[in-house]
Amino acid sequence: MSRPHGIPLPSARRSSDSNETESAFDDDKQGQPRPREGVRQLTGAERVRTLVESNASVSLTLPGAHDTHELAEFGTGMPAARTVTPDGDVILLVSGESAAARAAAHAQDDDLTAVIEITDVAPVSVPHRIRGRAWLAGWLTPVRGDERAACAALLAERHPVGELLGMSESLDAPYTGRPAWMLLRLEVGEISVDDLWGAEHVEPEDLAEAEPDPMVAYESELLQHLHSAHGDRLGELCGLLGAREADGMTAVPLALDRLGLRVRFTGGAGGSFDARFDFPEPVADICGLRRAMHTLFSAASH
């Protein structure tokens, strides 16, 4: 089955130019600081893949569903976990009683269109706390047959949630009614991301080839630790900003990936701004991150 195209992404607003996506975080409208410096960054596909593999909030809508009464009564349900297959499909674990599971149970290859919306919120309190959103649209079907065990194992490897315990055994058990949990597959046809780096479209093939950022599993805890225990050290980073004046402003850690740390400076007369501090080299694990942060703080203290 060819991948679908042209499925509307309901939360993405279009500008007058049909080839340009208007940012949900436009500076003049929302006040969300944007990067002004030419720093290294993850690709759009890497950012979307990282969001899919993160614990960010996710919603699932079914613009292609016909039974709108059932959708209103049950809701589509919040997926308990999700991951990406090597082919670029998104696997979702949903309640068997959800409207998404009910609708997908009767769907064929291209019957049911669906949109996943992921909302990324900073794990620390900061102005303009929503860091970004991603939308993935495509065709939704149940994971069937022998693929269920393989997809359950892939999902359990990435997200060892309790709902997956015993799923492999239940796949071979006699059918006794609606399952407690169902695996769904979204064959992705259109992707859009609007985050701290800007708004762009991502090709599904690029998502399949991208890897999630290695810091995704630790980012929330690390940012909260930096904020609560090392606020003074973060404030010292203003010394690396050159002509940009941040004295007297509060430094809040906003985002972290393998390439660097983003800090939001707030409380100044001119409002808030973001500064991105690149690591000397990309980090692959917590040990590498400790070395990179030590180098960064050492540079700021001299």
Helices (H), the chain: 27-30, 44-53, 68-74, 99-105, 147-158, 167-171, 204-209, 219-229, 231-236, 286-301
Tens-digit pLDDT profile for residues 99-157: 899 898 887 766 899 999 999 999 999 989 999 999 999 999 999 888 998 998 898 88
Instruction: Report if pTM > 0.75.
Output: yes
Residue 3 pLDDT class (50, 70, 90 cuts): very low
Contacts of 290 (CB under 8 A, 6+ apart): none
User: Residues 120, 257: contact at Cβ < 8 Å?
Assistant: no
Structure token digits, residue 206: 């690029």
Tens-digit pLDDT profile for residues 56-98: 999 999 986 655 555 444 445 689 889 999 999 999 999 888 8
3-state secondary structure 44-83: HHHHHHHHHHCCCEEEEECCCCCCHHHHHHHCCCCCCEEE
Bigger pLDDT: 37 vs 215: 215
Kindly list the strands in the beta sheet with 260-268, ordered across the sheet, starting from the edge strand earlier in the chain.
Answer: 250-257, 260-268, 271-278
